[in-house]
């Protein structure tokens, strides 16, 4: 089993807060930027995104609300 398969298997056992923390760590690891919210003209139409990414905050918030 790969590390990714193990992570996917653990997701149903995680709380929403744990999933959010995992997402923050992933974004930070990939970008070298600690997570935060930023708006940059020309990136995602100027919508709020997770810092250093094109992951829209609105999408993150929706996914978080779904659990």
Residue 23 lies in a domain: no
Q: Is residue 49 part of a domain?
A: yes
Count how many domains the chain has: 1
Is 29 part of a structural domain of the chain?
no
CA angle 28, 5, 10 (to 5 degrees): 75
CA 7 to CA 62: how far, in whole Å? Answer: 21
Q: What is the rounded average pLDDT for all residues in the chain? A: 83
Per-residue pLDDT band at 13 (split at 50, 70, 90)? very high
Full domain range(s) for residue 54 = 36-67
Is the pLDDT reported for residue 44 higher than 70?
Answer: yes
Model confidence pTM above 0.75: no
If you average pLDDT over residues 12-23, what whole number do you get?
84
């Amino acid at each position: 089993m790969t590390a990714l398969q193990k992570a996917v298997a653990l997701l149903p056992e995680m709380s929403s807060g744990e999933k959010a923390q995992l997402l923050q760590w992933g974004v930070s690891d990939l970008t070298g930027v600690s997570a935060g919210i930023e708006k940059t003209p020309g990136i995602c139409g100027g919508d709020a995104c997770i810092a250093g990414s094109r992951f829209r905050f609105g999408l993150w918030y929706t996914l978080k609300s779904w659990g």
